[in-house]
DNA sequence: TCGAAGTTTTACGCCACATAGCGCA
DNA sequence: AATGCGCTATGTGGCGTAAAACTTC
């Protein structure tokens, strides 16, 4: 039934991608079950925060290349293709959790981007192996003054927030530590990014006020929450409803809506220095931003709730029926496929006959005599097959 | 810069059969 | 209402393979 559904009823992947105007299969996958308004928000999040993936292949034709823009920080840092997944996943995770609470059937839906969302991924996130996953969050190590200025508090590198991305998204991203805290959120503190430090569970934290030459402070992931609390206590927390902060980060409304060179602003890269908005028109004045300023207590509660949910996640494959798994594990296989019991019995009998003949021949001198386990080894799944199919054993006895 | 060739990665179908779930008597 | 029977759909894991993605020349 499922096959019939997918093959006959459901749009083909490519077709659906064209329909949805999404170039990313993952994004299309997400939209499959997010068509109740949430999908709109998600789509908005994708289109506004991840420019390269925002348009379909047709739309991309207007640009010079369909490939994501590459960051050119400095010579000693390899260029990394931009990927919208981490931030998007962070946003999505928070959104989906709410959806799952509302709709139990989502349990049957495979989790999106499990790898990125898996708890263990955080351990690797700070390592080099996974750094490209967060390419959009990398900050330049260049000595370019302009880029350095981008890293400072006065000219923050900010993550433009998608219309419809609510506070939950924000706290989710904050809790994961992959969304910039700079600019729109924490203009005085600098951007938090995954560091190049290979130590697990640590993130680099750029602090414009730091005495460190790089202005970078390394925090444990567990410290992020503490940092959040600290900032709340200092009254420095700003939501993205704060128009002042957003002005510095994103004052060009048209640019926001177009998605335009969002990545340029985010990364301060893409080969050329980011273009600072020429006007002071705040995009937050747009009616699409309907946000509520939360109190420190509410914010803390949301973050705590998110972290709690995250920790309670089960990212491993869900086995609905353990008995079926046991059976499947013990079921005989032929080239990976389940084999009939009769076929196995016949094959075993045949093997046993050959074994008997071969044993008579090779066993004369005691050499080259095959052990019964060698024959059994040719039958996939035979190791666990003795629970029921005793015929194979009996045939040798 | 482009294209061909080769390599690697990813996604999915296939298989048998116990079992859940349903309708019917 | 409870029980038994028959039928169908579902779920389970490892392997092969096509397709996609990537690399090299």
A169 touches strand B (CB under 7 A): no
**A29 nearest nt, CA–C1':** B11
Give the residue from A306, A307, A299, A156 showing the smallest Cα distance to A235: A299
> Stated in angstroms, how far is A343 CA from B23 C1'?
34
Q: pLDDT value at position A343?
A: 58
Can you tell me the distance from the alpha carbon of A148 to that of A191, in angstroms, rounded to the nearest whole number?
12
Q: Over the stretch A338-365, which tens digit does the pLDDT of each residue have? A: 888 765 565 555 555 554 444 443 333 3
**A328 nearest nt, CA–C1':** C12
Is it the case that residue A396 has pLDDT exceeding 70?
A: no
Question: What is the torsional sign of CA A376, A378, A379, A381?
Answer: positive
> Stated in angstroms, how far is A331 CA from C13 C1'?
9
**A338 nearest nt, CA–C1':** B15
A293 touches strand C (CB under 7 A): no
**A337 nearest nt, CA–C1':** B15
A323 touches strand C (CB under 7 A): no
Q: pLDDT value at position A321?
A: 83
Q: Over the stretch A210-240, which tens digit does the pLDDT of each residue have? A: 333 333 333 334 334 433 443 333 333 333 3
A66 touches strand C (CB under 7 A): no
Q: For residue A347, what are the contacts with CB-CB under 8 A and spacing of at least 6?
A: A379
* Mean pLDDT calculated for residue range A44-51: 34
Q: pLDDT value at position A309?
A: 60
* Mean pLDDT calculated for residue range A65-86: 31
Q: pLDDT value at position A350?
A: 57
Can you tell me the distance from the alpha carbon of A166 to that of A245, in angstroms, rounded to the nearest whole number?
17
Q: Which of A 343-362 have CB under 7 A of nucleic chain B?
A: none
Of residues A85 and A324, the one with the higher pLDDT is A324
In residues, how long is chain A?
397
Q: How many CA atoms lie within 13 A of A322 on its CB side?
A: 0
Predicted structure pTM score: 0.31
**Which pair of structure tokens corresponds to residue A185?**
């959120």
Which residue is nearest to the C1' sugar atom of B13, using CA? A3
Q: pLDDT value at position A347?
A: 54
Is it the case that residue A330 has pLDDT exceeding 80?
A: yes
pLDDT > 90: percent of chain A: 0
Q: pLDDT value at position A397?
A: 27
A319 touches strand C (CB under 7 A): yes
A6 touches strand B (CB under 7 A): yes
Give the residue from A46, A48, A58 showing the smallest Cα distance to A19: A58
pLDDT > 70: percent of chain A: 9
**A335 nearest nt, CA–C1':** C15
A342 touches strand B (CB under 7 A): yes
Q: pLDDT value at position A314?
A: 52
Q: Where are the domains of chain A?
A: 320-349
Mean pLDDT of chain A: 40
> Stated in angstroms, how far is A231 CA from C5 C1'?
68
Q: pLDDT value at position A174?
A: 36
> Stated in angstroms, how far is A57 CA from B1 C1'?
21
Q: Which of A 207-246 have CB under 7 A of nucleic chain C?
A: none
* Mean pLDDT calculated for residue range A166-187: 34
Q: Over the stretch A279-311, which tens digit does the pLDDT of each residue have? A: 333 333 343 334 566 677 777 777 777 666 655
Q: pLDDT value at position A193?
A: 32
> Stated in angstroms, how far is A42 CA from C9 C1'?
34
């Amino acid at each position: 039934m499922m096959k019939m559904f997918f093959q006959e009823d459901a749009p083909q992947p490519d077709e659906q991608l064209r329909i949805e105007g999404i170039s990313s299969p993952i994004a299309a996958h997400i939209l499959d079950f997010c068509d109740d308004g949430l999908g709109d928000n998600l789509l908005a999040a994708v289109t506004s925060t991840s420019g390269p993936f925002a348009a379909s292949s047709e739309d991309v034709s207007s640009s010079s290349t369909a490939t994501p823009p590459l960051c050119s920080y400095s010579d000693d840092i390899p260029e990394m293709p931009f990927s919208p997944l981490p931030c998007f996943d962070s946003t999505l995770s928070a959104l989906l959790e709410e959806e799952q609470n509302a709709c139990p059937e989502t349990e049957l839906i495979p989790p999106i981007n499990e790898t990125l969302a898996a708890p263990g991924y955080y351990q690797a996130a700070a390592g080099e192996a996974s750094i490209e996953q967060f390419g959009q969050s990398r900050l330049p190590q260049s000595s370019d003054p302009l880029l350095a200025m981008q890293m400072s508090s006065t000219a923050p590198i900010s993550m433009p927030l998608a219309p419809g991305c609510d506070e939950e998204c924000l706290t989710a991203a904050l809790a994961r530590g992959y969304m910039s805290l700079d600019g729109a959120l924490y203009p005085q503190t600098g951007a938090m990014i995954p560091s190049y430090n290979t130590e697990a569970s640590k993130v680099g934290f750029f602090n414009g006020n730091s005495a460190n030459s790089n202005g970078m402070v390394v925090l444990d992931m567990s410290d992020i929450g503490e940092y959040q609390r600290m900032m709340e206590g200092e009254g420095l927390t700003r939501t993205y409803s704060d128009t002042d902060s957003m002005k510095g980060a994103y004052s060009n409304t048209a640019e926001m809506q177009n998605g335009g060179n969002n990545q340029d602003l985010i990364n301060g890269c893409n080969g050329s220095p980011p273009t600072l908005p020429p006007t002071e028109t705040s995009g937050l004045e747009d009616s699409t931003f309907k946000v509520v300023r939360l109190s420190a207590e509410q914010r803390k509660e949301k973050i705590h709730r998110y972290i709690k949910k995250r920790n309670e996640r089960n990212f491993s494959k869900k086995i609905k029926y353990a008995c079926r798994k046991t059976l499947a594990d013990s079921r005989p296989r032929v080239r990976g496929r389940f084999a009939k019991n009769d076929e196995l019995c016949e094959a075993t009998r045949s093997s046993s006959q050959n074994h008997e003949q071969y044993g008579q021949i090779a066993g004369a001198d005691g050499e080259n005599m095959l052990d019964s386990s060698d024959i059994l080894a040719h039958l996939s799944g035979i190791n666990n097959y003795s629970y029921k199919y005793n015929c194979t054993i009996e045939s040798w006895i």
